């Protein structure tokens, strides 16, 4: 017996099971990051004047700007990978998904150098309240990047994309779901970048 509403939409929600599931999951993620953003705001209000500004000046804005551009580019290539499947062009899907994985890897490499630069200068999460929440927010975001890369890498490799030959519509839906998660991860960074680096 096949599970219903895998490729067709549910009559009660207008969504497939997987899309409904990812929206529920993303709602919980919004609550997670929303709580952390709120904690940042309250900690900043309670901090001594100039404390957050001083520690914020220790952050590398050029690196973060490049990473912002990299993640925005990865969202574009993720959309193109899904659109390529909708147009039945599997080779273009492979190219765009590969580019998405490349951009995600570049983001992690830049973040690695940003972190090690701080450690080299004796700046750790325990250095200040600002640094504690900075490492918490960006570290959690990095874990989400890695999680997304694992999923996308699976669908990019032959053993993960073999469904394309038997159930192309179902495979396309899976890429769309992965894309929704990836866009959320990028959106979180769009909020993190100005709040941590620019304000």
How do the domains of the chain map onto residue ranges?
17-198
- pLDDT band at residue 15 under the 50/70/90 scheme: confident
pLDDT at 4: 61
Kindly tell me if the per-residue pLDDT of 1 is higher than 50. Answer: no
Residue with the larger pLDDT of the pair 7 and 114: 114
Kindly tell me if the per-residue pLDDT of 3 is higher than 80. Answer: no
Helix (H, G, I), strand (E, B) or coil at 191: helix
pTM equals 0.91
**Architecture of domain 17-198 in this structure:** Up-down Bundle (1.20)
Of 57, 41, 46, 78, which is closest to residue 187 (Cα–Cα)?
78
Q: Is 14 left (phi over 0), alpha (psi -120 to 50) or beta?
A: left
**Model pLDDT for residues 135-170, shown as the tens digit of each residue:** 999 999 999 999 999 999 999 999 898 989 998 998
Mean pLDDT on 58-68: 96
**Model pLDDT for residues 83-134, shown as the tens digit of each residue:** 999 999 999 999 999 999 999 999 999 999 999 999 999 999 999 999 999 9
């Amino acid at each position: 017996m096949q599970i219903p509403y895998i490729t067709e939409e549910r009559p009660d929600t207008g969504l497939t099971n997987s899309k409904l599931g990812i929206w529920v999951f993303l709602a919980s993620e919004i609550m997670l990051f929303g709580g952390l953003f709120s904690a940042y705001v309250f900690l900043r209000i309670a901090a001594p004047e100039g404390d957050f500004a001083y520690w914020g000046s220790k952050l590398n804005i050029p690196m973060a700007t490049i990473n912002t551009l990299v993640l925005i580019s990865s969202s574009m290539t993720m959309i193109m990978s899904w659109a390529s499947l909708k147009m039945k062009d599997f080779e273009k899907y492979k190219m765009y998904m590969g580019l998405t994985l490349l951009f995600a890897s570049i983001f992690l490499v830049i973040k690695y150098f940003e972190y090690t630069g701080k450690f080299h200068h004796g700046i750790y999460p325990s250095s200040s309240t600002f640094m504690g929440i900075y490492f918490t927010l960006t570290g959690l975001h990095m874990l989400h990047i890695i999680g997304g890369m694992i999923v996308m890498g699976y669908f990019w490799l032959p053993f993960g994309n073999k469904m394309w030959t038997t159930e192309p519509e179902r495979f396309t839906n899976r890429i769309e779901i992965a894309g929704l998660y990836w866009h959320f991860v990028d959106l979180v960074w769009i909020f993190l970048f100005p709040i941590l680096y620019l304000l």
